[in-house]
């Protein structure tokens, strides 16, 4: 497997992008100095030997190198398995050299999947976490909060998050913690507190890491301030947040009355096979009297019903409520006329048919 890896320069991201991220992460080294390290670790990883880190590169520099790759993964929404392996190798190397952040991350990784690890490893992981917690290690406290939240222990999570915020409250990580606190309060629901936390979260964290905060904030403002909710939701959509498309579609259709825009949002959502988006798209088409598209959408809904039985009830109810529109839409074919005589005849009897089929083949 390892022998099949391509050369690093073939998979490595653009120099400009890396330099920008290094600058954002406040790295003391430039890519010129770091690239040979990336390359040597990558090559040693292929060979399966332990790599040597050059002098002048500290464990925290290795963590920065790892974060660069992680950021690229998040921004491009693309996972390259070779770079992911490199990321893990960097993390391992950093932990080996004694970086607490790396140790903490690895220890939690073991605890999250105890079934994939031996009992000894789990115990050792627990010991390390305990030790780091006693040292008030920031990331460990945050990860403890995340861990508690994952298993539904909200009060414990709250305790760890608040402790983390006592240690640092104006950093990128604090932004993530505010987002989590917002979610906990949103579930309670203590919406006023949740709103405050989400606002802090989006202030401290870049959009790609706080999409959830944007989404929840949009939900909070949905009925009191729809324009604000729309702006926040659009931010989510730029990150490809699945849930945002249908919400934006319904908002544009029902509140702002912009059926064209709604149609576009629904189109994006229906590409992700969201049933609500198909329904919204159909409604937009009927409102805009775009019957050919409505018919096409109707057929897609029926196809969806065949493939997914969970949708059956909802689709049946929808079609019952839209009987008149469905009957009208079914008159308009979205297939082109192959026979020119039929086409000519149709143009004489029904101008709409001719127009739709002539230009929208």
Residues of this chain that interact with other proteins (CB under 8 A) are: 186-187, 189-192, 216, 219-227, 243, 247, 250-251, 253-258, 276
Q: How far is the CB of 7 from other proteins (least distance, A)?
A: 46
Q: Are residues 79 and 36 in contact, defined by beta-carbon separation less than 8 angstroms?
A: no
Which of 67, 167, 153 lies closest to 180, judged by CA? 153
Nearer of residues 96 and 258 to other proteins, judged by Cβ: 258
* Least distance (Å) between residue 188 CB and other proteins: 8
Nearer to other proteins, 157 or 251 (CB): 251
Integer angstrom CA distances of residue 168 from 52, 159, 161, 165, 213:
34, 15, 10, 5, 19
Q: Cα(first)–Cα(last) distance of the chain, in Å?
A: 47
In this complex, which beta carbon is closest to other proteins, that of residue 204 or of residue 217? 217
If the CB atoms of residues 235 and 244 are measured against other proteins, the closer one turns out to be 244
Minimum distance of other proteins from residue 255's CB (angstroms): 5
C-alpha span between 292 and 328 (Å, rounded): 10
Nearer to other proteins, 91 or 220 (CB): 220
DSSP string, 133-145: HHTT-HHHHHHHH
> Is there a contact between 129 and 160 (Cβ–Cβ < 8 Å)?
no
Provide the 8-state DSSP code for 14.
Answer: P
State how far the alpha carbon of 206 is from the alpha carbons of 181, 209, 211, 241, 262, in Å: 17, 6, 9, 15, 27
SS3 label, residue 42: helix
Closer residue to other proteins in complex, CB, 4/224? 224
Rounded CA separation 179/201 (Å): 5
The least distance separating other proteins from the CB of residue 303, rounded to whole angstroms, comes to 23
What is d(CA 252, CA 242) in angstroms, rounded to the nearest whole number? 17
The CB-based long-range contact list for 162-170 (8 Å cut-off, 24+ gap) reads 164/138, 167/136, 167/138, 167/141, 168/138, 170/204
CA 8 to chain centre: 27
**Residue with smaller CB distance to other proteins, 202 or 251:** 251
| CB 193, min distance to other proteins, A | 10
Between 185 and 295, whose beta carbon lies closer to other proteins? 185
Considering the complex, what minimum distance in angstroms separates the CB of residue 224 from other proteins? 4
Q: How far apart are CA 246 and CA 259, in angstroms?
A: 13
In the complex, the smallest distance separating the C-beta of residue 165 from other proteins, rounded to whole angstroms, is 23
- Minimal distance, residue 83 CB to other proteins, in Å: 34
Phi, psi of 181 (to 5 degrees): -60, -40
Min. distance of Cβ 318 from other proteins in angstroms? 12
What is the Cα gyration radius of the chain?
27
Which lies closer to other proteins via its Cβ, residue 44 or residue 287? Answer: 287
């Amino acid at each position: 497997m390892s022998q099949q890896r391509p050369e690093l320069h073939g998979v490595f991201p653009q120099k400009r992008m890396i330099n920008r991220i290094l600058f954002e992460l406040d790295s003391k080294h430039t890519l010129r100095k770091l690239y040979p390290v990336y390359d040597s670790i990558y090559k040693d990883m292929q060979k399966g030997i332990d790599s040597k880190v050059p002098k002048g590169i500290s464990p925290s520099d290795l963590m920065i190198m790892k974060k660069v790759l992680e950021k690229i993964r998040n921004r491009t929404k693309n996972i390259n398995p070779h770079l992911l392996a490199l990321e893990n190798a960097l993390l391992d190397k950093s932990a080996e050299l004694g970086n607490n952040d790396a140790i903490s991350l690895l220890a939690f990784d073991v605890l999250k999947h105890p079934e994939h690890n031996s009992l000894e490893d789990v115990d050792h992981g627990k010991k390390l976490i305990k030790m780091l917690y006693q040292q008030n290690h920031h990331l460990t406290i945050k990860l403890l909060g995340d861990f508690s939240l994952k298993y539904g222990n909200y009060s414990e999570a709250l305790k760890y998050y608040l402790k983390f915020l006592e240690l640092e409250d104006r950093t990128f990580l604090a932004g993530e913690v505010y987002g989590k606190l917002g979610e906990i309060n949103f579930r309670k629901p203590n919406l006023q507190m949740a709103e405050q936390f989400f606002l802090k979260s989006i202030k401290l964290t870049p959009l790609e890491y706080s999409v959830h905060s944007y989404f929840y904030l949009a939900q909070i403002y949905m009925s009191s301030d729809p324009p604000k909710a729309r702006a926040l939701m659009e931010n989510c959509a730029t990150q490809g947040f699945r849930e945002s498309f249908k919400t934006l579609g319904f908002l544009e259709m029902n509140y702002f009355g912009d059926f064209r825009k709604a149609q576009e949002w629904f189109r994006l959502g229906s590409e992700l096979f969201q049933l609500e988006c198909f329904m919204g798209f159909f409604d937009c088409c009927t409102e805009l009297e775009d019957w050919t598209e409505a018919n096409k959408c109707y057929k897609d809904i029926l196809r969806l019903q065949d493939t997914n039985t969970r949708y059956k009830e909802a689709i049946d109810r929808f079609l019952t409520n839209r009987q008149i529109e469905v009957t009208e839409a079914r008159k308009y074919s979205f297939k082109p006329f192959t026979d020119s005589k039929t086409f000519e005849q149709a143009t004489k009897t029904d101008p709409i048919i001719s127009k739709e089929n002539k230009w929208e083949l």
